Amino acid sequence: MIERGNAIPSVGVKLVNASGISDVTSDAVLGEGIVVLFSVPGAFTPTCHVNHLPGFLANAGKLRAAGVSKIVCVAANDQHVMKAWAESSEALDTIEFMADGNGELARMLGLAKDLSPFGMGTRYARAAMIVRDGVVSDVFVEDGPGVNASGAPAILMALEAANA
């Protein structure tokens, strides 16, 4: 699993943001400034849609005030699903979305999780990280159901502690 001090790997992904959909690499998206990356098992899935994404959307101003230049959500969904989710949640102007449809970045980050028993295949573990100029400074992986360690409040506390 990716750890503090590791560089973000370079993997081809689809970036979904207010400008549209583009082919990019993960290190290009996450390589400059202070970036909060959070991973979800799937767009529109109950916990992701009701708890995880809304927490980052509601706290975007506080995250930016703490020095975050970009908030990025990643899932092993295709770019069309990620775009529909971003639009329906009204997050497109606030959060960028990375579609890692084949889960290659998930595997390289060590966050791939087999959800085949639930009919979902390989997805991301629910997690979040703070990335500073392409290098991971903090990693938060949920060890159970729900959003605790990887939610926006936990990330805010980590940023405040680092800035103290």
Q: Which residues are catalytic?
A: 48
Pairing verdict, β 96-99 and 12-17: antiparallel
Report the residue count for the chain: 164
Q: List phi, psi (to 5°) of 138.
A: -150, 145
Calpha distance 141→160 (Å, rounded): 19
Phi, psi of 93 (to 5 degrees): -90, -5
Exposed, middle or buried by CB within 10 Å (0-12, 13-18, 19+), for 8? buried
